[in-house]
């Protein structure tokens, strides 16, 4: 375990064309770990994972003490591509294996508290570098991080949203309002897209009416295999049809340009 880690050395590991990196204090991790993402069960606490060094547990999952760390954004235009989790781990392992671990918190809250982006009207985080076209994840380091850039928290609405209602008008689920997001409408709309795709390709031995009544939680029980027009299988984070990667339909209208006229920008 290192005594301390220079933030600039962490940042240099990530290609700035594809990544953005910011420091997260222990206090901001703590705040982000007890605030909900969408559902009430996220109030239960901070589900940190255990960190091991030479086979010995040095940080227990039940230990409530947060440490400092980083938040990273990976530029992507793919709604369902989560391979960046593995990629960011590979990058950090170059120098910092056994000194960090990914932590599951309210990424949006941590991003705002760390000055990493602004809250937009569509409930998404507008990253300072990539706009909406990115995904976020956080890593906690046990050694103190030094020489980090200190950013001001951004808790106000994104100024680009002033006088603009692109996302409200164009949301196909009607889930975006002036002061809130109806996450039930959002989740159900996404679920319908996936359910009907599954039904049309796999034709399970049930009626369309039964598919329509399925709850969002049933989606995780779907099993791919021989479909009406090919063989479907899940390989890691991707769905394949006859060994060729395809996309499952997914609503991302609140991220897409020109649905939002505020295009992302690159530094």
Higher pLDDT, 34 or 149: 149
pLDDT at residue 177 is higher than 70: yes
The mean pLDDT value for 204-232 works out to 69
pLDDT for the residue 48: 47
pLDDT for the residue 63: 55
pLDDT for the residue 223: 66
Residue 38's CB is within 10 A of a number of other CB atoms, namely 13
Using a pLDDT cut of 90, give the percent of the chain over it. 23
pLDDT for the residue 108: 86
pLDDT at residue 233 is higher than 60: yes
Query: For 102-116, what is each residue's pLDDT tens digit?
Result: 887 888 889 999 999
pLDDT for the residue 118: 87
pLDDT for the residue 40: 40
The string of DSSP codes covering 218-245 is: GGGG----B-SSSBEEEETTEEEETTEE
Higher pLDDT, 139 or 256: 139
* DSSP-derived 3-state class of residue 177: coil
The secondary element (H helix, E strand) that includes residue 208 is helix 208-213
Poorest-pLDDT segment among 12-26, 89-103, 187-201: 187-201
* DSSP-derived 3-state class of residue 3: coil
pLDDT for the residue 235: 72
- CA–CA distance, 181 with 191 (Å, rounded to integer): 17
- Average pLDDT of the chain is 77
pLDDT for the residue 267: 34
Please choose, from the candidates 74, 80, 122, 83, the residue with its C-alpha nearest in 3D space to the C-alpha of residue 250.
80
pLDDT at residue 144 is higher than 80: yes
What are the φ/ψ torsions at residue 26 (nearest 5 degrees)?
-60, -40
Find all residues with CB under 8 Å of 112, minimum gap 6, and list them.
118, 119, 125, 153, 154, 155
Higher pLDDT, 58 or 235: 235
């Amino acid at each position: 375990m290192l005594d301390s880690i220079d933030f600039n050395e962490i940042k240099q590991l990530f290609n700035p064309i594809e990544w953005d990196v910011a420091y997260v204090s222990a206090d901001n991790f703590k705040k982000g770990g007890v605030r909900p993402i969408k559902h009430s069960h996220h109030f239960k606490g901070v589900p940190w994972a255990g960190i091991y060094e030479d086979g010995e547990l040095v940080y227990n999952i039940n230990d409530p003490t947060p440490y400092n760390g980083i938040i990273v954004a990976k530029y992507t235009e793919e709604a369902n591509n989560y391979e960046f989790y593995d990629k960011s781990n590979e990058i950090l392992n170059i120098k910092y294996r056994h000194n960090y671990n990914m932590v599951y918190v309210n990424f949006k809250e941590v991003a705002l508290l760390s000055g990493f982006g602004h809250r937009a009207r569509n409930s998404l985080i507008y990253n300072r570098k990539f706009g909406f076209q990115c995904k976020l994840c956080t890593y906690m380091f046990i050694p103190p991080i030094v020489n980090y850039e200190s950013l001001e928290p951004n808790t106000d609405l994104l100024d680009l949203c002033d006088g603009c209602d692109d996302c409200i008008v164009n949301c196909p689920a009607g889930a975006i309002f002036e002061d809130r997001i109806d996450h039930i409408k959002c989740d159900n709309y996404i679920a319908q897209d996936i359910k009907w795709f599954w039904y049309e390709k796999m034709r399970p031995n049930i009626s369309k009416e039964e598919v329509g009544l399925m709850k969002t939680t049933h989606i995780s029980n779907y099993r791919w295999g021989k479909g009406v027009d090919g063989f479907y299988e899940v390989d890691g984070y991707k769905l394949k049809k006859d060994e060729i990667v395809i996309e499952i339909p997914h609503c991302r209208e609140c991220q897409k340009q020109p649905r939002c006229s505020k295009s992302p920008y690159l530094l």
